Every structure is written in structure tokens, then in C-alpha cells.
């Protein structure tokens, strides 16, 4: 996906003016926040499990090479193939090779953010292979030629009416005048249309929520069953996963699973949690004939051992996105990157460079709500601040802002000079405020006064008033 994060401000303005989008975005806090809170409250051990999750992932990351090797060995023992990809380009090339080896014409896809990250669909299309998204949300946006706007709810930016219009436009085999006012009808249509495609598919692509080193298994966590149909009915199952998805054991995976669905949608468990280990066995009546895993680096090893390493604990639950007031206002597309919200603001500069994606970690008030709900206790605001430090070091911030802040710091470090300046600046400003005690417009402050009144200062500063008070006290004594 072409990164347009540098346009965040204007993207945001468009998003704020888009009534359809604003209506749809209302579903984000409504659909996720209370549910997560209830699920967390209902499990006494929830907070302890968050600590456990962090512990397990930190241990894994500290030994990532060894766990990847152990995982690879188990996959091969169970009859699977492991491919290594350093870059997105490598991943695309390997995926295409597998498809071409099997003369694939159509491939089905379970919902997979990593395949979006590497732009797999575009690559397959360019090479005459049709990718069919089977997750309902991904299917809907595929019809619209859009990118997902949320990492677990790809079509959350759409209202039902828009989906109806798309189905009417595309499902031409059905009666044009049919009643689609009930969402159940839309679901049933998608179910029917996609049923055929699972059976036609030559290859089934999925991502993986986890890769288990102990058994060489890949894990998908879904509600619809599309991921399972994709990987069971496809003649070949290809898993694409980034290297930090590894966990050591089934027991470790069971721990983190407890905080994944609860943090994402407020469910104790998603409907389907599936552990796949290799291709069809001799006595299996169903299943894929071949099983391939593409392990992708794409910038993760660069994050290891740096102040951004903690981001590698992310299990892609979306809780941070669901709770972010900035995301609530502008939606996912405004971020201009495949990963939106707080986790996207930390991850994208790692993948694309802070020079290209630096706006993202700046578009935050550091309210901290994201960190407070992250199941893996990732300090998201802290890492966004690290990105700002990198920008500062590299002089990437707009000059006016840099000079303004430098001037403030200059004064702040010189209390006497500061006092001298403010003791006439504040009274002057307070005069502007008049009897109403507010200023409606002020040169250089249009960023503020465009939308708000500027409260006028009282006049004297506290220090001036305090000095006067202390002076009077001295006199009295």
C-alpha cells in the first residue's frame, strides 16, 4: 500500500468532514470498549495474565533465533516446508513461486494483515492469479478496492447501506430488486457466494496469530470459519507470518490466547482457534496436500535490541486502536498506512522509516489509554516519544515548531530572563482579553483560535503576586 502518512493532517480533515464515516466510526467505541472491559473484569487473573504474556514474549524475543530454528525443524518433521523472506519482495516472490508451481488460478485468503503489509494480492493479480478474500469484512473492501481500516474489523468504516450497494452492484446473479435491509441477508449472500470459491481454490493463504515452536504448528484465531475453510479446502495451505509470531510451547500459547480475544472483541475465546501442523496425513480424509510457511523479517530484526523491541510483543488484538480518541475521530484510512492507530504509529516508522511515517507518532496526545489496555503491556506512548526523539535528532520536524520550542526551552532554563519577559507579556495579553476574559483571535495562535477562545491571563503572574505578598508579609513583621 502506498504510504500516505505524511498527508495525515489533510486526510484527517477529509475524514472529519465525511458524515458517512463519522457515523460508522461511532461503532468503534460502542462495539469494543465496554465488551473488553466486561471480559477483563470477569476474569480475576486477567491482569496477572497480561504480565505473563509480556514475560513469555520477552523471553521468546531474547531467544528468537533459537525458537525459529526449533519451530522450523518441527514443521519439516511434520511434512511442511519453511521459506525465509528478508523483505516484502522476497515474501511476494516466494508466494508467487508456490502458486505458479501448482498452476494456481484462484487462491482463497483468510484475513491476514501480513499479506496486506507485503501487498500480496496486487502481486498475484499482476501475475494472472485471482485472490479471493473470504473474511466478510475483507471481502467487502475487496469489492470496493479499498484497504482495511482496522486490523481486526477491516470494514468498520462502512455503513450497512454502503455494503448493500456494493453487493447489489457485484452480485449480479441475484434479483436486483431483492430486499437487503436485514444484515442477515447480506451475510447469507456472502456465505453462498464464497462457499463455491473455497472449493475452486488451488491455494489457501492464511496468516498466523501464533507459531508454536514446540510442535511446529500455526495458529489462527477467527470467528467466521473462513480461515479454516481456506486452509482445509485449498489444495495447498500457505501460511505467511512475521518472525515475532513465534511462541515456545502450547502452554505458552494457551496463556496468551486468554488475553487475545478478550482484548480484541471481549469474547473469552474466539469461535474458532485452530492449530495446524503440516499437510494431510496418510489417514486424513481431508486437508491440504502441501503445507508451506513463509517466515518474514521485513524490519523486525532491526527492531530487536533497540528501544522499539517491545513493539514486537504485539499480538494484533486491536485494543489500542479501539480505545484511541484520535482513531475514533479520523478512522483508519487517514493514517495512510496499513497499520493504523497507536500500534500503527509505533510500527510503521520501523517498517517504512521515520522520515516517511513521522507524522503518525506526532498525531497523539499521549493520553495513554492505548497502553492501559494493551494485553502485552507495550508502552506505546513511550515508543512514540522515541520516534519524536529520532525526528528531533534528524531535524525532521517543521522549522517553526522546532524554533518555537527551542525558544521556550531557552527561556525555561533562564528563570530570571523568563520572569523579566513574562512580567510584561502576560499583562499585555490580559489587556487583549478585555472584560470577557478571552481572546477570539491572535496572530501566531490561529491553531488555537480557529476552533476555541483563548482564555486571557489574569494579568500579573503568580510569581509577581507571590513576591508582592511575601514583601507585604516582610513589611508587616
Partner 1 sequence: MSETRQSVLSDIRNALVKKAPDDARAKAVAERLSGRPTGIIPKRGQLKQDARVELFAEMAKKVHSSVTRVSGYDEIPSCIGNYLREHNLPAELIMGTDRRLNKADWSLEKNLTIKKGPSDGKDLVGVSHAKSGIAETGTLLLASGSENPTTINFLADHHIVIISAKDIKGDMESAWGSLNKKDGQVVMPRAVNFVTGPSRSGDIEQKLLLGAHGPRALQIIIVG
Partner 2 sequence: MSENTNPKVGLFVTCLVDLFRPNVGFSAVELLEAAGCDVHVPRAQTCCGQPAYNSGDKADTKEIAKQVLDAFEDYDYVVAPSGSCAAMIKKHYPEVFEDDPAMLSRMKALSDKTFELVSFLTDVMFITQTPGEFAGSVTYHDSCSGLRELGVKEQPRKLLKNSGVDVREMKDSEVCCGFGGTFCVKYSDISNAMVSKKTQSIDDTGADMLVAGDMGCLMNMAGKLKRQGSKTEVRHVAEVLAGKLDTKPISGS
Q: Minimum Å distance from CB 237 to partner 1?
A: 10
Could you tell me the smallest distance in angstroms from the CB atom of residue 342 to partner 1? 20
Burial of 175 (0-12, 13-18, 19+ CB in 10 A): exposed
427 binds, among partner 1, partner 2, none (CB under 5 to 8 A by kind): none
22 binds partner 1 (CB under 8 A): no
Helices 27-41 and 250-264, packing angle to 10 deg: 130
d(CA 390, CA 353): 11
Q: Is 187 in the site for partner 1 (CB under 8 A)?
A: yes
Residues 204-223 that bind partner 1 (CB under 8 A): 213-217, 223
Q: 160 or 468, CB closer to partner 1?
A: 160
Burial class from Cβ neighbours inside 10 Å (0-12, 13-18, 19+) for residue 15 reads buried
Query: Given the complex with partner 1, which of 212 and 426 has the nearer CB atom?
Result: 212
Binding mask 285-324 for partner 1 (x = CB under 8 A): xxx-------x-x---xx-xxx------------------
Q: Is 279 in the site for partner 1 (CB under 8 A)?
A: yes
Size of the site for partner 1 (CB under 8 A): 103
User: Which helix (H) or strand (E) segment is 213 a member of?
Assistant: none
Question: Please, are residues 279 and 288 in contact by the beta-carbon 8 Å criterion?
Answer: yes
Nearer to partner 1, 283 or 399 (CB): 283
Spatial contact of 232 and 284, defined as CB atoms under 8 Å apart: no
Q: Mark out the alpha helices in 129-225 (DSSP H runs).
A: 136-143, 160-170, 183-200
Q: What letter does residue 441 receive in the DSSP assignment?
A: -
Q: Does 370 bind partner 1 (CB under 8 A)?
A: no
Stretch that binds partner 1, among 9-17, 182-190, 396-404, 440-448 (CB under 8 A): 182-190
226: contact with partner 1 by CB under 8 A: yes
Least spacing, CB of residue 339 vs partner 1, in Å: 19
How far is the C-alpha of 222 from the C-alpha of 254, rounded, in Å? 15
Using CB under 8 A as the binding rule, whether residue 101 contacts partner 1 is answered as no
251 binds, among partner 2, partner 1, none (CB under 5 to 8 A by kind): partner 1
- Picked from partner 1, partner 2, none, the partner binding residue 426 (CB below 5 to 8 A depending on kind) is partner 2
Kindly report the backbone phi and psi dihedral angles of residue 9, in degrees, each rounded to the nearest multiple of 5, phi listed first: -60, -45
Applying CB under 8 A, the span of 61-69, 328-336, 395-403, 464-472 interacting with partner 1 comes to 61-69
**Maximum pairwise Cα distance, the chain:** 100
What gap in Å lies between CA 258 and CA 60, rounded to an integer? Answer: 18
Contacting partner 1 within 114-173 (CB under 8 A): 134-137, 140, 153-156, 158-160, 163
Alpha-carbon torsion angle 209, 211, 217, 222, nearest 10: 0
Nearer to partner 1, 278 or 433 (CB): 278
Chain residues binding partner 2 by CB under 8 A are 9, 12-13, 16, 325-326, 329-330, 362-369, 371-372, 382, 385, 387-393, 397, 401-402, 405-406, 408-409, 411-413, 415, 418, 422, 426, 433, 435-438, 440, 445, 447-448, 450-458, 460-463, 465-466
174 binds, among partner 1, partner 2, none (CB under 5 to 8 A by kind): none
Write the CA distances from 187 to 59, 184, 192, integer angstroms. 42, 5, 9
Distance of closest approach, residue 356 Cβ to partner 2, in angstroms: 17
Q: CB under 5 to 8 A by kind: which of partner 1, partner 2, none does 285 bind?
A: partner 1
> How far is CA 238 from its chain centroid?
23
Binding of partner 1 by 263 (CB under 8 A): no
59, 328, 419, 438: which one binds partner 1 (CB under 8 A): 59
What does the buried/exposed string (b/e) look like for 40-76 if buried means 16 or more CB atoms within 10 Å of the residue's CB? beeeeebeebbebbbebbbebbeebeebbebbbebbe
376 binds, among partner 1, partner 2, none (CB under 5 to 8 A by kind): none
* Cα–Cα distance measured from residue 325 to residue 13, given in angstroms and rounded to the nearest whole number: 15
How many Cβ atoms are within 10 Å of 268's Cβ, its own excluded? 11
Residues 6+ apart with CB under 8 A from 430: 456, 457, 458, 459
Q: What are the phi and psi torsion angles at 178 (to 5°)?
A: -65, 155
**Binding partner of residue 454 among partner 1, partner 2, none, CB under 5 to 8 Å per kind?**
partner 2
The CA–CA distances, whole Å, from 80 to 16, 220, 238, 283, 292 equal 48, 17, 10, 17, 6
- Looking at the Cβ atoms of 27 and 430, the one nearer to partner 1 is 27
Q: Which is nearer to partner 1, 322 or 364 (CB)?
A: 322
Q: Cα–Cα distance between 154 and 332 in angstroms, integer?
A: 9
Q: Which stretch binds partner 1 (CB under 8 A): 12-20, 48-56, 115-123, 401-409?
A: 48-56
Q: Using the minimum distance from each CB to partner 2, give the nearer residue, 187 or 409.
A: 409
Q: Closer to partner 1 by CB, 182 or 458: give it.
A: 182
CA distance 204 to 234: 5
Stretch that binds partner 1, among 179-187, 347-355, 436-444, 454-462 (CB under 8 A): 179-187
Amino acid at each position: 500500500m502506498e504510504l500516505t502518512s505524511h498527508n495525515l493532517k489533510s486526510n484527517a480533515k477529509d475524514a472529519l468532514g465525511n458524515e458517512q464515516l463519522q457515523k460508522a466510526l461511532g461503532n468503534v467505541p460502542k462495539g469494543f470498549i465496554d465488551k473488553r472491559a466486561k471480559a477483563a473484569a470477569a476474569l480475576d487473573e486477567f491482569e496477572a495474565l497480561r504480565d505473563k504474556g509480556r514475560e513469555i514474549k520477552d523471553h521468546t524475543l531474547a531467544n528468537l533465533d533459537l525458537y525459529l530454528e526449533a519451530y522450523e525443524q518441527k514443521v519439516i518433521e511434520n511434512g511442511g516446508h519453511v521459506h525465509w523472506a528478508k523483505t516484502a519482495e522476497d515474501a511476494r516472490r516466494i508466494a508467487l513461486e508456490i502458486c505458479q508451481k501448482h498452476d494456481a488460478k484462484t487462491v482463497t485468503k483468510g484475513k491476514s494483515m501480513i499479506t496486506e503489509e507485503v501487498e500480496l494480492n496486487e502481486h498475484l493479480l499482476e501475475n494472472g492469479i485471482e485472490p479471493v478474500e473470504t473474511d466478510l469484512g475483507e471481502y467487502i473492501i475487496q469489492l470496493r478496492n479499498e484497504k482495511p481500516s482496522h486490523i481486526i474489523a477491516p470494514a468498520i468504516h462502512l455503513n450497512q447501506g454502503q455494503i448493500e450497494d456494493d453487493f447489489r452492484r457485484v452480485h449480479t446473479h441475484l434479483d436486483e430488486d431483492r430486499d437487503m435491509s436485514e444484515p442477515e441477508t447480506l451475510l447469507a449472500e456472502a456465505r453462498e457466494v464464497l462457499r463455491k470459491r473455497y472449493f475452486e481454490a488451488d491455494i489457501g493463504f492464511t496468516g498466523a496469530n501464533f507459531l508454536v515452536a514446540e510442535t511446529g504448528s500455526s495458529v489462527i484465531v477467527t470467528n467466521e470459519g473462513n480461515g479454516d475453510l481456506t486452509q482445509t479446502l485449498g489444495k495447498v495451505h500457505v501460511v505467511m507470518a512475521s518472525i515475532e509470531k513465534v511462541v515456545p510451547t502450547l502452554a505458552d500459547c494457551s496463556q496468551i490466547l486468554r488475553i487475545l480475544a478478550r482484548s480484541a472483541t471481549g469474547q473469552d475465546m474466539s469461535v474458532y482457534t485452530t492449530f495446524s501442523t503440516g499437510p494431510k496425513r496418510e489417514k486424513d480424509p481431508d486437508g491440504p496436500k502441501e503445507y508451506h510457511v513463509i517466515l518474514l523479517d521485513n524490519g523486525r530484526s532491526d527492531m530487536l535490541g533497540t528501544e522499539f523491541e517491545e513493539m514486537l510483543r504485539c499480538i494484533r488484538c486491536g485494543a489500542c486502536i479501539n480505545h484511541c480518541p484520535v482513531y475514533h475521530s479520523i478512522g483508519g484510512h487517514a493514517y495512510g498506512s496499513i497499520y493504523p492507530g497507536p500500534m500503527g504509529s509505533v510500527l510503521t516508522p520501523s517498517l517504512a522509516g521515520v522520515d516517511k511515517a513521522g507524522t503518525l507518532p506526532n498525531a497523539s496526545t499521549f493520553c495513554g489509554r492505548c497502553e492501559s489496555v494493551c494485553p502485552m503491556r507495550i508502552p506505546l506512548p513511550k515508543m512514540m516519544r522515541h520516534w519524536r526523539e529520532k525526528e528531533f535528532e534528524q531535524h525532521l520536524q517543521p522549522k517553526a515548531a522546532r524554533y518555537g520550542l527551542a525558544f521556550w526551552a531557552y527561556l525555561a532554563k533562564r528563570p530570571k530572563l523568563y520572569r523579566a519577559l513574562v512580567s510584561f507579556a502576560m499583562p499585555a495579553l490580559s489587556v487583549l482579553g478585555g472584560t470577557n476574559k478571552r481572546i477570539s483571535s491572535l496572530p501566531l495562535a490561529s491553531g488555537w483560535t480557529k476552533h476555541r477562545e483563548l482564555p486571557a491571563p489574569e494579568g500579573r503572574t503568580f510569581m509577581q503576586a507571590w513576591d508582592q505578598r511575601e514583601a507585604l508579609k516582610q513589611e508587616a513583621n
